[in-house]
Amino acid sequence: MPTLTQSNRKNIFDIQIKVNGIIIDSWSGLTYMARVDSARVISFVAHGHMPMECLQLGSIIEIRAGIGIHTPTSELLHFKGVIKNIKPSFDKVGVTAIDYI
């Protein structure tokens, strides 16, 4: 397990969410699930009116976590998949995505 130091602790939660190349700025409640012989699943809630316009079923989503941490791989998490489920509300959208398997 890598050791966290003062210099790299600030970057451990740097998470970037892109949908069709557009960055989602306001989000919360990110969950990640992975199982053997199954697709990885990511769920989160996007806030504001801009995500409602760009989030569509089948859109390509890319999530990178741990940007800036120097590990043998470039990030701690790199997820690329498609949006499977959308739950719109007045000012937020619940999103569930699966990766390519």
Give the global pTM.
Answer: 0.75
Q: How confident is the model at residue 54 (pLDDT cuts 50, 70, 90)?
A: confident
Kindly compute the dihedral angle of the four CA atoms of residues 76, 74, 51, 83, in this order, to the nearest 10 degrees: -70
What sign for the dihedral angle of Cα 31, 34, 38, 40? positive
Quote the pLDDT of residue 42: 94
- Name which residue leads in pLDDT, 100 or 41: 41
CA dist 18 and 5 (Å) reads 28
C-alpha 62/C-alpha 84 separation (Å) is 13
In Å, what is the CA distance from 57 to each residue of 6, 12, 29, 65, 74? 40, 30, 20, 23, 29
